[in-house]
Amino acid sequence: MRIGLIGYGRMGQAVERAATARGHMITGVIRRDTPLDACLQVAQQSDALIDFSHADAVLAHVELALQTRTPLIIGATGWDAQREAIAQQVQANGGSVLYAPNFSIAVQVFLQQAVSLAAQLLTLEGWDVAIEEIHHRGKADAPSGTARALATRLQHALDNRRTAQYPAPADHRLPDAQFSVGVVRIGSEFGTHRLMLDGPYDWIELTHRAKSRDGFAYGAVRAAEWLVGRTGFYNFAEVLHEILAHKEER
């Protein structure tokens, strides 16, 4: 498969390593200052584009993918407010987009299991819950997309009987119907997400910690392999079981 990279920072380089390790070819790199004709050339020569650039450029990259009919993987975060409008644009134009706040396959399993456990225990009296995420100082959005996804899934599982609060109130106690989402920014931490459950007799803590960026890159490449030949606007978590069952042609 021929893959075009959008952005060539540490994540873009990790995607290149993961793609070539799986036998794929990198056709080119689209950067912020790449001329439009060069962007079009990379997209037209690629079977898929993988975007780990910036939230403010996502819409332009979607339009590029739609113009060239190239499947697009979006790993950039912080564009949640645009998601519905972009989804409608992709569907209306028969495009092909798959996105995730976190492409780590292990994180997706972690989210499923954490929400299931919390939803069961929070039906009992005396149980409380909180979420914490830790990332490097250079991360642009807070809370992380993964922490937001965990909080949103938990709210849905609880039928919104409890809602996420970020940041924690500074001038009053946290209401019983809310749970806090804590954020820490330090050093070069790749990403840690923690769900904490406090009960009358037990404390349970589930933690996922990324060892490198390579897991995110691997998941994005697997997603690209699955997306080629399909149209629609997909969430990685919703089609993960199909992605893992997919055998790409070599």
Assess whether 247 carries a catalytic annotation.
Answer: no
Q: What tokens does 212 get?
A: 């490198």
User: How far is it, in rounded angstroms, from Cα 250 to Cα 246?
Assistant: 12
Catalytic residue among 139, 156, 193, 211: 139
Half-sphere exposure of 4 (CA within 13 A, CB side): 25
**Alpha-carbon gap, residue 46 to 55, rounded angstroms:** 22
Q: Which residue has the tokens 């949640």?
A: 80
Catalytic residue among 135, 156, 193, 247: 135
Q: Based on the residue annotation, tell me whether 208 is a catalytic residue of this protein.
A: no
Largest CA distance in the chain: 63
Cα 225 to Cα 239: distance, rounded to the nearest angstrom? 13
Question: Residue 55 in contact with residue 32, Cβ under 8 Å?
Answer: no
Just list the catalytic residues: 135, 139
